């Protein structure tokens, strides 16, 4: 089965960016795009159990009206989901993707992503969902759960899409960072783009050696690669590089063995993704 770009869309302001990033990846890799909208279990056709009301003496007519309301809510939720998918499909096709499918499902978002692993090339999700509290800068509630469960790369879309030319790759020599390098070496997505591998902090001889080997592997795949070492804390150092030097995307491993690891495990991870104004592609 050919692997697809799985783009998770909802009614949030980030959905358009998810669609445009999906089209960008599709255009460079030739992969098909599947747009998914997952309705929560309470939004679907399951009817509410009103049997308890009978024991309370409610009249039959009232129960029938409540059942009718349930059916109407389910119908509206389905129509809303379908409208979101139709709009998303129009956006992706307008951005140039030619092979696009949509799927409306009911259930748990994270469980669905896990079930689709075998047919997934990369998962796209917006930084924040429909219910995110923008005043407090909260991330989408499912984002970190999806990153933890997904065996495939997860691209967290920024609020607005912009063409990607320069990519910063946070490299600490860990297994997930190496997985990111292996993936990039094999994917046509990165051909012709400007890549920079960066380590943060005092890299020991072993990390420096791994950094050189990683760069050599990417160059052998025909990619343009530079290497850097910067001081400071990972979150502030990476953010400063992205802002100061105009990088368009951050690639990082979800689990490492150095200070970068703390960016993904624990609250600092959320802070890094929250503060970063470019899309973040994560591997675990």
CA distances from 131 to 142, 149, 214 (A): 11, 22, 40
- pLDDT score at 8: 95
- pLDDT score at 256: 47
* Both tokens assigned to 70: 């349930």
Residues contacting residue 189 through CB under 8 Å, at least 6 positions apart: 25, 28, 29
Name which CATH class applies to 162-283: alpha beta
Q: Locate all alpha helices (DSSP H) within 56-131, ordered by sequence.
A: 60-94, 109-115
Q: How many CA atoms lie within 13 A of 58 on its CB side?
A: 14
- pLDDT score at 147: 81
For the segment 170-188, the average pLDDT, to the nearest whole number, is 91
> Which of 74-78, 92-96, 269-273 ranks highest by mean pLDDT?
92-96
CATH superfamily of 1-42+58-158: HUPs (3.40.50.620)
Q: Is the predicted pLDDT of residue 198 greater than 80, yes or no? A: yes
The alpha carbon torsion through 197, 203, 206, 209 (nearest 10 deg) reads 40
- pLDDT score at 74: 85
pLDDT (tens digit per residue) in 231-243? 988 888 888 999 9
* Both tokens assigned to 134: 């923008």
* Both tokens assigned to 251: 């690639």
Lowest model confidence (mean pLDDT) among 114-118, 131-135, 199-203, 269-273 = 131-135
Domains 1-42+58-158 and 162-283 alike in fold: yes
d(CA 105, CA 108): 9
For the segment 171-199, the average pLDDT, to the nearest whole number, is 93
- pLDDT score at 50: 55
d(CA 1, CA 23): 20
pLDDT (tens digit per residue) in 260-269? 555 544 455 5
Task: Check residues 41 and 29 and name the one with the higher pLDDT.
Answer: 29
Residues contacting residue 82 through CB under 8 Å, at least 6 positions apart: 104
Average pLDDT of the residues of the chain? 85
**136 — pLDDT class (breaks 50, 70, 90):** very low
* Both tokens assigned to 244: 């100061």
- From the CB of residue 38, how many other CB atoms can be counted at a distance below 10 Å? 22
Q: Quickly tell me which residue has 């979800």 as its tokens.
A: 254
Task: Check residues 25 and 174 and name the one with the higher pLDDT.
Answer: 25
pLDDT (tens digit per residue) in 42-73? 665 555 555 555 565 666 778 788 888 888 88
Q: How many percent of the chain have pLDDT more than 70?
A: 82
Q: Are 8 and 123 in contact (CB under 8 A)?
A: yes
Domain ranges, ordered by start, for the chain: 1-42+58-158, 162-283
- pLDDT score at 55: 60
For the segment 89-107, the average pLDDT, to the nearest whole number, is 95
Q: Are 77 and 42 in contact (CB under 8 A)?
A: no
- pLDDT score at 51: 57
Strand partners of residue 249: 167
What's 5's DSSP letter?
E
Q: Is the predicted pLDDT of residue 135 greater than 50, yes or no? A: no
């Amino acid at each position: 089965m050919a692997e697809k770009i799985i783009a998770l869309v909802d009614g949030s302001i980030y959905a358009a960016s998810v669609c445009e990033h999906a089209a960008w990846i599709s255009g460079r890799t030739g992969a098909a795009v599947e747009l998914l909208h997952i309705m929560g279990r309470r939004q679907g056709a399951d009817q509410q159990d009103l049997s308890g009301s009978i024991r309370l003496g409610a009249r039959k007519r009232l129960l029938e009206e409540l059942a009718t309301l349930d059916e109407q809510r389910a119908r509206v939720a389905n129509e809303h989901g379908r409208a979101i998918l139709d709009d998303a499909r129009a956006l992706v096709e307008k951005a140039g993707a030619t092979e696009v499918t949509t799927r409306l499902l009911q259930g748990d978002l994270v469980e669905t992503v896990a079930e689709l692993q075998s047919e997934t090339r990369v998962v796209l999700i917006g930084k924040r969902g429909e219910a995110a509290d923008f005043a407090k800068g909260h991330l989408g509630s499912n984002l970190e759960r999806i990153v933890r469960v997904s065996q495939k790369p997860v691209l967290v879309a920024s609020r607005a899409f912009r063409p990607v030319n320069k990519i910063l790759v946070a490299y600490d020599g860990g297994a997930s960072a190496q997985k990111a390098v292996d993936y990039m070496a094999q994917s046509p997505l990165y051909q012709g783009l400007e890549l920079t591998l960066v380590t943060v902090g005092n890299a020991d001889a072993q990390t420096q050696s791994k950094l050189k080997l990683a760069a050599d592997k990417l160059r052998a795949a025909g990619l343009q690669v530079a290497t850097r070492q910067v001081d400071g804390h990972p979150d502030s150092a990476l953010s400063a590089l992205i802002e100061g030097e105009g990088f368009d995307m951050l690639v990082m491993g979800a689990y490492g063995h150095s200070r970068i690891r703390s960016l993904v495990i624990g609250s600092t991870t959320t802070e890094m993704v929250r503060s970063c104004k470019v899309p973040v592609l994560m591997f675990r």
